[in-house]
Structure 1
């Protein structure tokens, strides 16, 4: 009888061990290398919880790693929930969790042609899948190139000069010296000056399409900087005679009701109805556009400003809600 009990305990122990080890002992760890634009299907490599796939991109030696955390189904169909990490991760973002639905079939949404330092002109396929809109995927691809200091220009979309497409604002590049300086600061995670199309700015519920002004906002010293005409004219609906640029002293004056604000390029002293205020970040001239600190001028005109960071903690993503007046 004692031997029988020992046998039962042994069987139970073995079952428990194998149930615990099914994730690790039998999980597959695969590494593949692909060329730029090459299509691959993650479901060729990821099938069960614990499976891991490391994709090395031969074009720039970056890596993306997928690890299956969960298998399941929802209203869209069967999926794998994966933890996704990127290397190098310039923004020091934590690993993201993404659902990949079966079948996951990347498809070509177009081509992009750009000029890379020490390489020359390159044309690559842009890929997406049915659960990501083609426009968002294209914007993400273009912003990735825009913030790559080794990319000297983005030239064409689907063979058409980019300046003749809806993405024309990505043709406006910072000086190369400044691009390399910003890239060098990514090491300590302090460089947010890269212009970003993924900042959503709303005034009383209406989105400001600042890209119409050929420039995108950015964060500097913890302050969002925005092209002043995009904010004052598009956002606040002020006419040109209430938004005055002085090319003699490089200043901008905005008048709304009984409030007048004056700011000057490179000067941290601003004036509201003649009273001086010290700014954290001075207005700047970039890409032939004047950028001003959004919160200071908005609150100075009587608006309330709320910053909502991206839930995924991605640098260059977030929402600003401006309300009032």
Structure 2
């Protein structure tokens, strides 16, 4: 009696496990005409699902069977065993991954103003970016759109009351039109960019605290000087001196003194003149200085690491030294 009971239980488990794979699996057959397109995911969803596709043109067949489901760097997929009929060469079944189409989801709303009035629209996710990065990308896209006069709200909250408040600082329209005219292949590095990561000895500079973002001009990265000197290098205010009379910045670190002047391509290190590729500039009530020149002038090493995906406006600056 006990042996019969054990046999019954084992048999039941085996049958149930097979049912999970076969009884509930779908076995579909479709006929496809020449030029007709079909979505394989309308028929194949779970392990064990099978689809036979008959091509009406020559009555040939391709049979797909789902072996596994998974996720990799490209997204969610089903792994199918694929066989063709007729199989003149007796080729063994092949295996192929089919990736599920990405379905964007809503990550928030943004309200902005154009010359034609105010617009509120949904921000949708993209496949290869986190929601946080995509919100930044969406806002930067609006920020660099010459037709956008202002960004007003994020998720219904006035932008100046959100973590994205620095996107409310708009360049004068005349300068926005000038920068838009300099777009080459869809890029214009003179637009401020939140996608530059700047580290000093491994610590990130949160330059957005100063209400302004770095940009690249003439191949040189420009950064708000206080963000670099005070946040990055940890210098006290009495070593970072602004002179409103001649619009100059003087920075003192150890035995080194650097002086730069707005609009002047001549800078001085310990009194010795150096010619800059790009002069310091005043934008959004912030003074921008060439990052590499002042960093190396103070004895630091500067390394630029472009984004691995070669996305324009993305990259990391590593500054190291004492």
What's the TM-score once normalised by structure 1's chain length? 0.70
Give the drift of 1:78: 2.7
Give the drift of 1:209: 0.5
Aligned to 1:141: 138
Give the drift of 1:132: 3.3
Matched, 1:269 2:275: no
Output one character per residue of 1:198-253: Cα deviation in whole Å (capped at 9) or x when no partner.
00000000010100000000000000000000000000000100000000000000
The separation in 1 between residues aligned to 2:213 and 2:138, in whole angstroms, is: 16
Matched, 1:250 2:247: yes
Q: From the CA coordinates, give the structure whose radius of gyration is larger.
A: 2
Q: Are residues 79 and 243 of structure 1, via their aligned partners in 2, closer, same or farther at CA, if it must alter by over 3 Å?
A: farther
Q: Are residues 188 and 158 of structure 1, via their aligned partners in 2, closer, same or farther at CA, if it must alter by over 3 Å?
A: closer
Aligned to 1:61: none
Q: Are residues 298 and 241 of structure 1, via their aligned partners in 2, closer, same or farther at CA, if it must alter by over 3 Å?
A: same
Give the drift of 1:291: 0.1
Aligned to 1:221: 218
Matching of residues 283-322 of structure 1 within 5 Å = 283-322=280-319
The separation in 1 between residues aligned to 2:219 and 2:315, in whole angstroms, is: 13
The separation in 2 between residues aligned to 1:138 and 1:265, in whole angstroms, is: 33
Q: Are residues 156 and 252 of structure 1, via their aligned partners in 2, closer, same or farther at CA, if it must alter by over 3 Å?
A: same
Aligned to 1:108: 106
Q: Are residues 272 and 158 of structure 1, via their aligned partners in 2, closer, same or farther at CA, if it must alter by over 3 Å?
A: same
Q: Matched residue of 2:183: which SS? A: helix
Q: Gapped runs of 5+ residues in structure 2?
A: 1-33, 43-68, 79-97
Matched-pair contact (CA < 8 Å) for 2:306–2:314: yes
The separation in 1 between residues aligned to 2:173 and 2:274, in whole angstroms, is: 33
Q: Are residues 104 and 251 of structure 1, via their aligned partners in 2, closer, same or farther at CA, if it must alter by over 3 Å?
A: same
Give the drift of 1:193: 0.3
Give the drift of 1:101: 6.1
Q: Are residues 128 and 172 of structure 1, via their aligned partners in 2, closer, same or farther at CA, if it must alter by over 3 Å?
A: same
Output one character per residue of 1:132-162: Cα deviation in whole Å (capped at 9) or x when no partner.
3221111010000001000000001111110
Q: Matched residue of 1:290: which SS? A: strand
What's the TM-score once normalised by structure 2's chain length? 0.70
The separation in 2 between residues aligned to 1:134 and 1:104, in whole angstroms, is: 14
Matching of residues 107-126 of structure 1 within 5 Å = 107-117=105-115, 119-126=116-123
Q: Gapped runs of 5+ residues in structure 1?
A: 1-24, 30-42, 45-71, 81-99
Q: Select between 309-318 and 277-286 the one with higher mean Cα deviation.
A: 309-318
Q: Select between 235-244 and 122-131 the one with higher mean Cα deviation.
A: 122-131
Q: Select between 273-282 and 128-137 the one with higher mean Cα deviation.
A: 128-137
Q: Are residues 264 and 101 of structure 1, via their aligned partners in 2, closer, same or farther at CA, if it must alter by over 3 Å?
A: farther
Aligned residues: 243
Give the drift of 1:311: 1.7
The separation in 2 between residues aligned to 1:175 and 1:145, in whole angstroms, is: 15
Q: Are residues 132 and 191 of structure 1, via their aligned partners in 2, closer, same or farther at CA, if it must alter by over 3 Å?
A: closer
The separation in 2 between residues aligned to 1:123 and 1:142, in whole angstroms, is: 13
Q: Matched residue of 2:111: which SS? A: strand
The separation in 1 between residues aligned to 2:298 and 2:283, in whole angstroms, is: 24
Matched-pair contact (CA < 8 Å) for 2:301–2:319: yes
Matched, 1:175 2:146: no
